[in-house]
Chain A
Protein backbone atom coordinates (compact mmCIF):
# COMPACT_ATOMS: atom_id res chain seq x y z
CA UNK A 1 0.00 0.00 0.00
CA UNK A 2 1.67 3.26 -1.01
CA UNK A 3 -1.08 5.64 0.00
CA UNK A 4 -3.36 5.80 3.00
CA UNK A 5 -6.87 4.42 2.62
CA UNK A 6 -9.56 5.98 4.79
CA UNK A 7 -12.80 4.03 5.08
CA UNK A 8 -15.90 5.54 6.51
CA UNK A 9 -17.96 2.84 8.24
CA UNK A 10 -21.71 3.18 8.67
CA UNK A 11 -22.67 4.42 12.15
CA UNK A 12 -19.05 4.04 13.20
CA UNK A 13 -15.53 5.42 12.92
CA UNK A 14 -13.17 6.22 10.06
CA UNK A 15 -10.56 3.51 9.63
CA UNK A 16 -7.18 4.65 8.38
CA UNK A 17 -4.92 2.07 6.80
CA UNK A 18 -1.58 2.51 5.09
CA UNK A 19 1.18 5.04 5.62
CA UNK A 20 -0.11 8.06 7.54
CA UNK A 21 1.03 10.65 10.01
CA UNK A 22 -1.43 11.75 12.67
CA UNK A 23 -0.74 15.11 14.29
CA UNK A 24 -2.37 17.80 16.37
CA UNK A 25 -2.93 21.33 15.09
CA UNK A 26 0.59 22.35 16.06
CA UNK A 27 2.05 19.58 13.97
CA UNK A 28 3.04 17.44 16.96
CA UNK A 29 2.73 13.77 16.15
CA UNK A 30 0.01 11.81 17.92
CA UNK A 31 1.22 8.28 18.57
CA UNK A 32 -1.41 5.83 17.39
CA UNK A 33 0.56 2.78 18.48
CA UNK A 34 -0.85 0.69 15.61
CA UNK A 35 -0.85 0.53 11.82
CA UNK A 36 -4.61 0.64 11.31
CA UNK A 37 -6.48 3.14 13.45
CA UNK A 38 -10.10 4.08 14.03
CA UNK A 39 -10.79 7.83 14.22
CA UNK A 40 -13.88 8.90 16.13
CA UNK A 41 -16.61 10.28 13.92
CA UNK A 42 -19.37 10.59 16.53
CA UNK A 43 -17.50 13.02 18.77
CA UNK A 44 -18.29 11.11 21.96
CA UNK A 45 -15.17 8.99 22.38
CA UNK A 46 -13.22 9.41 25.62
CA UNK A 47 -9.96 8.83 23.74
CA UNK A 48 -10.32 11.30 20.88
CA UNK A 49 -9.21 11.49 18.17
CA UNK A 50 -9.46 7.70 18.44
CA UNK A 51 -12.70 5.76 18.52
CA UNK A 52 -13.37 3.84 21.76
CA UNK A 53 -16.62 2.20 20.74
CA UNK A 54 -18.84 4.81 22.40
CA UNK A 55 -20.66 5.38 19.09
CA UNK A 56 -22.58 2.17 19.91
CA UNK A 57 -23.72 3.52 23.28
CA UNK A 58 -24.90 6.85 21.89
CA UNK A 59 -26.52 5.15 18.87
CA UNK A 60 -24.55 7.32 16.45
CA UNK A 61 -26.05 7.23 12.95
CA UNK A 62 -24.23 8.21 9.79
CA UNK A 63 -24.18 6.74 6.31
CA UNK A 64 -21.00 5.15 5.02
CA UNK A 65 -20.99 7.23 1.85
CA UNK A 66 -21.07 11.01 1.53
CA UNK A 67 -24.15 12.77 2.84
CA UNK A 68 -26.11 14.62 0.23
CA UNK A 69 -26.62 18.35 0.79
CA UNK A 70 -30.15 18.04 -0.48
CA UNK A 71 -31.17 14.92 1.41
CA UNK A 72 -34.65 14.69 2.78
Chain B
Protein backbone atom coordinates (compact mmCIF):
# COMPACT_ATOMS: atom_id res chain seq x y z
CA UNK B 1 0.00 0.00 0.00
CA UNK B 2 1.36 3.39 -0.93
CA UNK B 3 -0.63 5.77 1.23
CA UNK B 4 -3.30 5.18 3.85
CA UNK B 5 -6.75 4.60 2.36
CA UNK B 6 -9.37 7.36 2.37
CA UNK B 7 -11.88 6.99 5.24
CA UNK B 8 -15.46 6.00 4.38
CA UNK B 9 -17.28 6.97 7.56
CA UNK B 10 -16.98 7.70 11.25
CA UNK B 11 -15.17 4.54 12.33
CA UNK B 12 -12.63 4.29 9.55
CA UNK B 13 -11.98 8.00 9.92
CA UNK B 14 -11.22 7.63 13.64
CA UNK B 15 -8.98 4.62 13.05
CA UNK B 16 -7.06 6.10 10.16
CA UNK B 17 -6.53 9.41 11.96
CA UNK B 18 -5.19 7.58 15.01
CA UNK B 19 -2.96 5.22 13.02
CA UNK B 20 -1.20 8.14 11.37
CA UNK B 21 0.16 9.11 14.82
CA UNK B 22 2.40 7.15 17.17
CA UNK B 23 0.72 4.42 19.17
CA UNK B 24 -1.68 5.69 21.82
CA UNK B 25 -4.98 4.64 23.42
CA UNK B 26 -7.65 5.08 20.80
CA UNK B 27 -10.83 6.98 21.63
CA UNK B 28 -13.02 5.74 18.83
CA UNK B 29 -16.78 6.04 18.64
CA UNK B 30 -18.42 2.74 19.52
CA UNK B 31 -19.70 1.38 16.24
CA UNK B 32 -23.44 1.42 15.57
CA UNK B 33 -24.71 -1.66 13.74
CA UNK B 34 -24.93 -0.73 10.04
CA UNK B 35 -27.89 -1.78 7.89
CA UNK B 36 -25.86 -4.32 5.95
CA UNK B 37 -22.58 -5.08 7.72
CA UNK B 38 -21.54 -7.49 4.96
CA UNK B 39 -21.13 -4.66 2.48
CA UNK B 40 -20.94 -1.60 4.70
CA UNK B 41 -18.16 0.66 3.42
CA UNK B 42 -17.11 2.10 6.76
CA UNK B 43 -17.18 -1.17 8.72
CA UNK B 44 -15.40 -3.20 6.06
CA UNK B 45 -12.67 -0.63 5.47
CA UNK B 46 -12.13 -0.24 9.24
CA UNK B 47 -11.78 -4.01 9.61
CA UNK B 48 -9.52 -4.19 6.59
CA UNK B 49 -7.15 -1.64 8.14
CA UNK B 50 -7.15 -3.44 11.50
CA UNK B 51 -6.33 -6.71 9.78
CA UNK B 52 -3.60 -5.34 7.52
CA UNK B 53 -1.55 -4.61 10.64
CA UNK B 54 -1.20 -8.40 11.01
CA UNK B 55 0.01 -8.88 7.43
CA UNK B 56 2.39 -6.34 5.95
CA UNK B 57 1.29 -3.32 7.92
CA UNK B 58 0.02 0.01 6.63
CA UNK B 59 2.20 2.77 5.16
CA UNK B 60 3.58 5.08 7.81
CA UNK B 61 1.83 3.22 10.64
CA UNK B 62 3.91 2.22 13.70
CA UNK B 63 4.30 -1.55 14.10
CA UNK B 64 3.23 -1.24 17.74
CA UNK B 65 -0.36 -0.56 16.66
CA UNK B 66 -0.75 -4.27 15.84
CA UNK B 67 -1.16 -5.12 19.54
CA UNK B 68 -2.54 -1.87 20.95
CA UNK B 69 -5.33 -3.03 23.33
CA UNK B 70 -7.70 -0.14 22.58
CA UNK B 71 -7.51 -0.84 18.84
CA UNK B 72 -7.99 -4.57 19.44
CA UNK B 73 -11.04 -3.78 21.57
CA UNK B 74 -12.54 -1.75 18.74
CA UNK B 75 -11.69 -4.51 16.28
CA UNK B 76 -13.48 -6.99 18.52
CA UNK B 77 -16.65 -4.84 18.37
CA UNK B 78 -16.40 -4.57 14.59
CA UNK B 79 -15.86 -8.31 14.32
CA UNK B 80 -18.85 -9.03 16.54
CA UNK B 81 -20.97 -7.02 14.13
CA UNK B 82 -19.50 -8.76 11.06
CA UNK B 83 -19.83 -12.18 12.67
CA UNK B 84 -23.45 -11.63 13.72
CA UNK B 85 -24.33 -10.63 10.16
CA UNK B 86 -22.53 -13.70 8.78
CA UNK B 87 -24.31 -16.00 11.22
CA UNK B 88 -27.66 -14.51 10.21
CA UNK B 89 -26.97 -14.62 6.47
CA UNK B 90 -25.32 -18.04 6.21
CA UNK B 91 -27.23 -21.04 7.55
CA UNK B 92 -25.28 -24.08 8.71
CA UNK B 93 -25.22 -26.70 5.91
CA UNK B 94 -26.44 -30.23 6.67
CA UNK B 95 -23.64 -32.38 8.16
CA UNK B 96 -22.17 -35.30 6.20
CA UNK B 97 -23.01 -38.92 7.02
CA UNK B 98 -19.44 -39.26 8.33
CA UNK B 99 -16.00 -37.73 7.83
CA UNK B 100 -15.54 -39.95 4.75
CA UNK B 101 -18.47 -38.07 3.15
CA UNK B 102 -17.00 -34.60 3.72
CA UNK B 103 -16.14 -34.20 0.02
CA UNK B 104 -19.79 -34.85 -0.87
CA UNK B 105 -21.08 -32.43 1.77
CA UNK B 106 -18.70 -29.71 0.54
CA UNK B 107 -19.73 -30.31 -3.05
CA UNK B 108 -23.36 -29.94 -2.01
CA UNK B 109 -22.49 -26.51 -0.56
CA UNK B 110 -20.90 -25.53 -3.87
CA UNK B 111 -23.83 -26.89 -5.88
CA UNK B 112 -26.30 -24.85 -3.84
CA UNK B 113 -24.54 -21.67 -5.03
CA UNK B 114 -27.03 -19.77 -7.20
CA UNK B 115 -24.95 -16.63 -7.77
CA UNK B 116 -24.28 -15.64 -11.38
CA UNK B 117 -20.83 -16.66 -12.63
CA UNK B 118 -18.37 -13.82 -13.18
CA UNK B 119 -16.02 -16.34 -14.81
CA UNK B 120 -18.57 -17.25 -17.49
CA UNK B 121 -19.21 -13.58 -18.16
CA UNK B 122 -15.51 -12.84 -18.44
CA UNK B 123 -14.96 -15.79 -20.74
CA UNK B 124 -17.59 -14.68 -23.24
CA UNK B 125 -18.52 -11.04 -22.88
CA UNK B 126 -16.29 -8.87 -20.68
CA UNK B 127 -14.68 -5.80 -22.22
CA UNK B 128 -11.05 -4.95 -21.50
CA UNK B 129 -12.24 -2.34 -18.96
CA UNK B 130 -14.39 -4.90 -17.14
CA UNK B 131 -11.58 -7.41 -17.12
CA UNK B 132 -9.26 -4.84 -15.57
CA UNK B 133 -11.88 -4.11 -12.93
CA UNK B 134 -12.14 -7.79 -12.11
CA UNK B 135 -8.38 -8.01 -11.67
CA UNK B 136 -8.42 -4.91 -9.44
CA UNK B 137 -11.12 -6.54 -7.26
CA UNK B 138 -9.16 -9.76 -7.06
CA UNK B 139 -5.91 -7.96 -6.17
CA UNK B 140 -7.19 -7.37 -2.63
CA UNK B 141 -6.74 -11.06 -1.91
CA UNK B 142 -4.55 -12.37 -4.69
CA UNK B 143 -1.52 -10.20 -3.82
CA UNK B 144 -1.45 -11.97 -0.46
CA UNK B 145 -2.83 -15.22 -1.80
CA UNK B 146 -2.71 -18.12 0.68
CA UNK B 147 -1.56 -15.93 3.58
CA UNK B 148 -4.84 -15.88 5.55
CA UNK B 149 -5.15 -19.67 5.33
CA UNK B 150 -1.59 -20.08 6.57
CA UNK B 151 -2.85 -18.96 9.99
CA UNK B 152 -4.24 -22.52 10.19
CA UNK B 153 -0.80 -24.16 10.06
CA UNK B 154 0.22 -23.90 13.75
CA UNK B 155 -3.32 -24.87 14.78
CA UNK B 156 -3.42 -28.22 12.99
CA UNK B 157 -1.51 -31.44 13.48
CA UNK B 158 -1.20 -34.83 11.83
CA UNK B 159 -2.87 -35.67 8.49
CA UNK B 160 -4.80 -32.39 7.97
CA UNK B 161 -1.59 -30.45 8.67
CA UNK B 162 0.34 -32.47 6.08
CA UNK B 163 -2.47 -31.84 3.57
CA UNK B 164 -2.63 -28.07 4.06
CA UNK B 165 1.15 -27.77 3.94
CA UNK B 166 1.19 -29.57 0.62
CA UNK B 167 -1.35 -27.10 -0.77
CA UNK B 168 0.38 -24.03 0.67
CA UNK B 169 3.75 -25.19 -0.65
CA UNK B 170 2.35 -24.93 -4.18
CA UNK B 171 0.72 -21.57 -3.40
CA UNK B 172 4.14 -20.31 -2.30
CA UNK B 173 5.90 -21.49 -5.45
CA UNK B 174 7.63 -24.64 -4.17
CA UNK B 175 10.70 -22.65 -3.21
CA UNK B 176 10.80 -20.51 -6.37
CA UNK B 177 9.84 -16.90 -5.61
CA UNK B 178 8.93 -16.34 -9.26
CA UNK B 179 6.28 -19.07 -8.98
CA UNK B 180 4.60 -17.76 -5.82
CA UNK B 181 0.96 -17.43 -6.86
CA UNK B 182 0.80 -13.87 -5.52
CA UNK B 183 3.79 -13.06 -7.75
CA UNK B 184 2.13 -14.64 -10.79
CA UNK B 185 -0.86 -12.41 -10.06
CA UNK B 186 1.37 -9.34 -9.78
CA UNK B 187 2.94 -10.27 -13.14
CA UNK B 188 -0.52 -10.51 -14.68
CA UNK B 189 -1.47 -7.09 -13.29
CA UNK B 190 1.72 -5.62 -14.63
CA UNK B 191 1.12 -7.13 -18.05
CA UNK B 192 -2.39 -5.65 -18.03
CA UNK B 193 -0.99 -2.22 -17.22
CA UNK B 194 -2.36 -2.22 -13.68
CA UNK B 195 -0.46 -1.09 -10.61
CA UNK B 196 0.79 -4.33 -9.03
CA UNK B 197 1.97 -2.72 -5.80
CA UNK B 198 0.37 -4.19 -2.68
CA UNK B 199 -2.82 -2.35 -1.79
CA UNK B 200 -2.73 0.08 -4.70
CA UNK B 201 -6.48 -0.27 -5.36
CA UNK B 202 -7.95 -0.34 -1.86
CA UNK B 203 -9.72 3.00 -2.34
CA UNK B 204 -11.38 1.61 -5.48
CA UNK B 205 -12.78 -1.53 -3.87
CA UNK B 206 -16.34 -1.63 -2.56
CA UNK B 207 -17.13 -2.97 0.91
CA UNK B 208 -18.54 -6.17 -0.58
CA UNK B 209 -15.12 -6.99 -2.05
CA UNK B 210 -13.23 -6.04 1.12
CA UNK B 211 -15.64 -8.30 3.04
CA UNK B 212 -14.47 -11.35 1.07
CA UNK B 213 -10.91 -10.69 2.28
CA UNK B 214 -11.94 -9.68 5.81
CA UNK B 215 -13.79 -12.98 6.09
CA UNK B 216 -10.53 -14.88 5.62
CA UNK B 217 -8.72 -12.69 8.14
CA UNK B 218 -11.53 -13.10 10.68
CA UNK B 219 -11.47 -16.88 10.35
CA UNK B 220 -7.68 -16.96 10.23
CA UNK B 221 -6.89 -14.77 13.21
CA UNK B 222 -9.22 -16.59 15.60
CA UNK B 223 -8.18 -20.09 16.51
CA UNK B 224 -11.78 -20.90 17.45
CA UNK B 225 -12.63 -20.54 13.74
CA UNK B 226 -9.95 -23.00 12.53
CA UNK B 227 -12.60 -25.43 11.29
CA UNK B 228 -14.32 -22.71 9.27
CA UNK B 229 -10.97 -21.52 7.91
CA UNK B 230 -10.23 -25.03 6.66
CA UNK B 231 -13.70 -25.28 5.10
CA UNK B 232 -13.20 -21.91 3.41
CA UNK B 233 -9.89 -23.03 1.92
CA UNK B 234 -11.30 -26.40 0.86
CA UNK B 235 -14.15 -24.85 -1.08
CA UNK B 236 -11.85 -22.23 -2.57
CA UNK B 237 -9.64 -24.99 -3.98
CA UNK B 238 -12.61 -27.08 -5.12
CA UNK B 239 -14.17 -24.23 -7.07
CA UNK B 240 -11.06 -22.92 -8.73
CA UNK B 241 -9.95 -24.90 -11.80
CA UNK B 242 -12.95 -24.30 -14.05
CA UNK B 243 -13.40 -20.56 -13.30
CA UNK B 244 -9.68 -19.98 -13.82
CA UNK B 245 -9.83 -21.73 -17.19
CA UNK B 246 -12.66 -19.35 -18.10
CA UNK B 247 -10.71 -16.27 -16.95
CA UNK B 248 -7.71 -17.41 -18.99
CA UNK B 249 -9.84 -17.90 -22.09
CA UNK B 250 -11.42 -14.48 -21.55
CA UNK B 251 -7.96 -12.96 -21.49
CA UNK B 252 -7.00 -14.82 -24.65
CA UNK B 253 -10.25 -13.75 -26.35
CA UNK B 254 -9.23 -10.17 -25.65
CA UNK B 255 -5.80 -10.80 -27.14
CA UNK B 256 -3.63 -11.11 -24.05
CA UNK B 257 -0.68 -13.50 -24.00
CA UNK B 258 1.19 -15.86 -21.76
CA UNK B 259 2.36 -13.41 -19.08
CA UNK B 260 -1.21 -12.27 -18.45
CA UNK B 261 -2.68 -15.78 -18.44
CA UNK B 262 0.06 -17.63 -16.49
CA UNK B 263 -1.59 -17.07 -13.10
CA UNK B 264 -4.92 -18.43 -14.34
CA UNK B 265 -3.40 -21.32 -16.33
CA UNK B 266 -1.36 -22.37 -13.30
CA UNK B 267 -4.51 -22.52 -11.20
CA UNK B 268 -6.27 -24.82 -13.63
CA UNK B 269 -3.67 -27.56 -13.10
CA UNK B 270 -2.58 -26.79 -9.55
CA UNK B 271 -6.12 -26.67 -8.23
CA UNK B 272 -7.10 -29.85 -10.06
CA UNK B 273 -4.62 -31.40 -7.61
CA UNK B 274 -5.57 -29.19 -4.66
CA UNK B 275 -9.28 -29.92 -5.00
CA UNK B 276 -9.00 -33.54 -3.88
CA UNK B 277 -6.35 -32.89 -1.24
CA UNK B 278 -8.40 -30.02 0.23
CA UNK B 279 -11.77 -31.76 0.23
CA UNK B 280 -10.76 -35.25 1.28
CA UNK B 281 -7.38 -35.12 3.01
CA UNK B 282 -7.65 -31.69 4.63
CA UNK B 283 -11.35 -31.09 5.36
CA UNK B 284 -12.24 -34.79 5.64
CA UNK B 285 -9.05 -35.45 7.61
CA UNK B 286 -9.84 -32.70 10.10
CA UNK B 287 -13.43 -33.91 10.53
CA UNK B 288 -12.12 -37.41 11.19
CA UNK B 289 -9.57 -36.17 13.71
CA UNK B 290 -11.83 -33.58 15.42
CA UNK B 291 -15.47 -34.47 14.70
CA UNK B 292 -16.66 -31.49 16.74
CA UNK B 293 -15.31 -29.18 13.99
CA UNK B 294 -17.43 -30.77 11.24
CA UNK B 295 -20.20 -28.16 11.39
CA UNK B 296 -17.70 -25.29 11.36
CA UNK B 297 -15.87 -26.71 8.35
CA UNK B 298 -19.05 -26.73 6.30
CA UNK B 299 -20.15 -23.34 7.57
CA UNK B 300 -16.77 -21.86 6.58
CA UNK B 301 -17.31 -23.22 3.08
CA UNK B 302 -20.80 -21.72 3.01
CA UNK B 303 -19.53 -18.27 4.06
CA UNK B 304 -17.19 -18.25 1.05
CA UNK B 305 -20.07 -19.04 -1.29
CA UNK B 306 -22.27 -16.39 0.33
CA UNK B 307 -19.81 -13.49 0.29
CA UNK B 308 -18.34 -14.28 -3.12
CA UNK B 309 -21.89 -14.50 -4.43
CA UNK B 310 -22.79 -11.08 -3.08
CA UNK B 311 -19.66 -9.51 -4.54
CA UNK B 312 -20.30 -11.23 -7.88
CA UNK B 313 -23.90 -10.00 -8.06
CA UNK B 314 -22.84 -6.45 -7.31
CA UNK B 315 -20.13 -6.58 -9.96
CA UNK B 316 -22.34 -8.03 -12.68
CA UNK B 317 -25.24 -5.67 -11.89
CA UNK B 318 -22.94 -2.68 -12.29
CA UNK B 319 -21.67 -4.01 -15.61
CA UNK B 320 -25.21 -4.68 -16.81
CA UNK B 321 -26.01 -1.03 -16.12
CA UNK B 322 -22.94 -0.03 -18.10
CA UNK B 323 -21.37 1.31 -14.90
CA UNK B 324 -18.10 0.67 -13.12
CA UNK B 325 -18.15 -2.02 -10.43
CA UNK B 326 -15.52 -0.08 -8.48
CA UNK B 327 -16.10 2.81 -6.07
CA UNK B 328 -13.77 4.89 -8.17
CA UNK B 329 -13.38 3.89 -11.79
CA UNK B 330 -9.87 3.04 -12.95
CA UNK B 331 -8.13 5.97 -14.58
CA UNK B 332 -8.83 5.95 -18.32
CA UNK B 333 -6.02 4.50 -20.38
CA UNK B 334 -4.65 2.84 -17.29
CA UNK B 335 -4.86 -0.66 -18.68
CA UNK B 336 -2.44 -1.77 -21.34
CA UNK B 337 -4.13 -2.96 -24.46
CA UNK B 338 -2.93 -6.36 -25.60
CA UNK B 339 0.32 -6.17 -27.51
CA UNK B 340 -0.89 -8.66 -30.10
CA UNK B 341 -4.18 -7.97 -31.83
CA UNK B 342 -7.02 -10.35 -30.99
CA UNK B 343 -7.27 -13.06 -33.61
* Chain A residues packing against B (C-beta within 8 Å): 7, 9-13, 15, 33-38, 46-47, 50-54, 56-57
- Main SS of the interface on chain B? helix
Interface pair B275/A34, CB less than 8 Å apart: no
Interface size range of chain B in the complex: 20 to 34
Between B107, B166, B170, B275, the greatest number of chain A beta carbons within 10 A of the residue's beta carbon is seen for B275
Encode B261-275 as 1/0 by CB contact (under 8 A) with A. 000000011111101
Interface string of B99-115 (1 = CB under 8 A from A): 00001100100000000
**Chain A residue, CB-CB nearest to B280:** A9
CB of B276 within 8 A of chain A? yes
Interface residue? B242 (CB, 8 A): yes
- How far apart sit A9 and B277, CA to CA, in the bound complex (Å)? 9
B-chain residues with CB within 8 Å of residue A10 when the two chains form the complex? 103-104, 280
25 A-B contacts (beta carbon < 8 Å): A7-B276, A9-B280, A12-B275, A12-B276, A15-B273, A15-B276, A34-B170, A34-B174, A34-B269, A35-B174, A38-B272, A38-B275, A51-B241, A52-B241, A52-B269, A52-B272, A53-B241, A53-B242, A53-B245, A53-B268, A53-B271, A54-B242, A56-B241, A56-B242, A57-B242
Interface residues of B in 239-257 (CB under 8 A from A): 240-242, 245
Chain B residue with the shortest CB-CB distance to A57: B242
Main SS of the interface on chain A? loop
Give A34 to B272 CA distance when docked, in angstroms: 12
When distances are taken between beta carbons in the complex, the residues of chain A under 8 Å from B166 are: 36
Q: Is A38 a contact partner of B276 (Cβ separation < 8 A)?
A: yes
- In-complex Cβ contact of B268 among A34, A47, A56 (8 A): A47
Shortest distance between the CB of B271 and any CB in chain A (Å): 7
Whether the Cβ atoms of B245 and A15 lie closer than 8 Å is no
- State in angstroms the CA–CA spacing of A56 and B275 once bound together: 10
Complex Cα–Cα for A10 and B242 (A): 18
Query: Are A13 and B272 within 8 A (Cβ)?
Result: yes
Distance (whole angstroms) from the CB of A14 to the closest CB of chain B: 9
Extra 7 A-B pairs, beta carbons < 8 Å, given A9-B280, A33-B269, A37-B273: A12-B275, A15-B277, A34-B174, A38-B269, A46-B245, A52-B242, A53-B271
Q: Mark B119-138, 1 if CB is under 8 A from A, else 0.
A: 00000000000000000000
Are B280 and A51 closer than 8 Å at their CB atoms? no
**Cα of A46 to Cα of B238 in the assembled complex, Å:** 18
* Chain B residues whose C-beta falls within 8 Å of the C-beta of A34 in the assembled complex: 170, 174, 269-270, 273
| Interface pair A53/B270, CB less than 8 Å apart | no
- Identify which of B238, B240, B269 gathers the most chain A CB atoms within 10 Å of its CB: B269
